[in-house]
Amino acid sequence: MIITLTPNPSLDRTIELRAPLARGEVQRAASSREEPGGKGVNIVRALEASDILSLAILPGDELDPVLVALRAAGVPHLGMPIGATLRSNVALTEIDGTTTKVNVPGPVLTAAQQSDLIELVLEKAEGASWLVLAGSLPPGVPVDFYADITRELRSRFGASAPRVAVDSSGAPLAAAVTAGPDLIKPNAEELAELTGIPDPESLEGNPVLVARAAERLVATGVGAVLATLGSQGAVLVTEDGAWLAKTPPIIARSTVGAGDSSLAGYLLSSIAGGSAPDSLRQAAAHGAAAASLPGSTVPSLHQTRPGDVTLTSLNTHPKEDVQ
């Protein structure tokens, strides 16, 4: 069982444009779709598509449009009533796959609701293989929310605690790292911010620099870093090594949720006993498959092509030439 927590879920509307986005102009859309979203929700959708037992935990009332959509889609979930409407986000996707997202803050969670949500997560996490803490935090929630859950989980369950993966950004991710999660999944910009690299663009096209930045996090106690780099592939760093995964070129339709699908691919390979490189291969295959699908559609395992993924071992500390 894989449990995810999405404290700031949303109803995601994806609009596909017929032409490049033109600011200040009126444009006609090619299509539009609405789906329940949020990183943890998307991960469970991807896992469920591959018949992996999973559960999405999120705040939300029974009749909230997000939970109604989850029930309609058959996504395993558990909502905690909060007496407020969840947010709606909009993504505009251009014909070349370029995606512009507009995310709104979401409802405030009171201190009592935060405590109840943590207790619900801990209750359902018993016996799980992974707990994924995913996405932004809603207003009112302190930045160390994910770190506190990680520490409480390990305090309560000890050696039998689920492994913890964190997919977030900014201050919540930085705080989560201090609790030593088993896996984090930043993109290049998030990795640069997390490690103090002033120019995120310096990481583009340079997987060795990405791996070196990730190694600094592993040295602080993070179990593994899965850095997703869009069309540049993905890098995985653990104590045992660093690898780059690249897929053949694809025709991108939408990048919405592609990173979430990558993490889902990693997790399903991990629980099947895959090695770190094997899990990276499946992560890259899942991400590429997701990007080739419309909106925030998630791929199933049979829609991915891990055999087409090229893996390269990265030497982040080459020996200096002997004079």
- Rounded to whole angstroms, the Cα distance separating 163 from 161 reads 6
**What count of other Cβ atoms lies within 10 Å of the Cβ of residue 278?**
16
Antiparallel, parallel or unpaired: β 163-167 and 183-184: parallel
In the chain, % helix, strand, coil (3-state, to 5) comes to 40, 25, 40
What is the model's pLDDT at position 138?
Answer: 93
- Rounded to whole angstroms, the Cα distance separating 296 from 290 reads 8
CATH of domain 2-21+28-313: 3.40.1190.20
Strand partners, 88: 11
Residue 208, both tokens: 């060795």
* Tens of pLDDT, residues 19-31: 999 889 999 999 8
**What count of other Cβ atoms lies within 10 Å of the Cβ of residue 112?**
8
Amino acid at 211: A
Q: Could you tell me which of 306, 299, 234, 297 has the C-alpha nearest to residue 47?
A: 299
Q: Could you tell me which of 193, 199, 262, 277 has the C-alpha nearest to residue 229?
A: 262
Q: Could you tell me which of 270, 280, 286 has the C-alpha nearest to residue 312?
A: 280
**220 DSSP 8-state letter:** T
Collect the ranges in the chain with pLDDT lower than 70: 254, 295, 318-323
- Rounded to whole angstroms, the Cα distance separating 204 from 235 reads 12
* Tens of pLDDT, residues 289-301: 988 887 677 888 8
Residue 95, both tokens: 């014909």
Where does the chain have alpha helices with state H? 39-49, 65-73, 111-125, 145-157, 170-177, 188-195, 207-219, 258-271, 276-291
What is the model's pLDDT at position 319?
Answer: 54
Domain spans of the chain? Answer: 2-21+28-313
Q: Is the pTM of this model over 0.85?
A: yes
What is the model's pLDDT at position 321?
Answer: 39
What is the model's pLDDT at position 47?
Answer: 95
Find the angle CA(283)-CA(285)-CA(289) to the nearest 5 degrees. Answer: 120
Count CA atoms closer than 13 A to 290's CA, side-chain side: 28
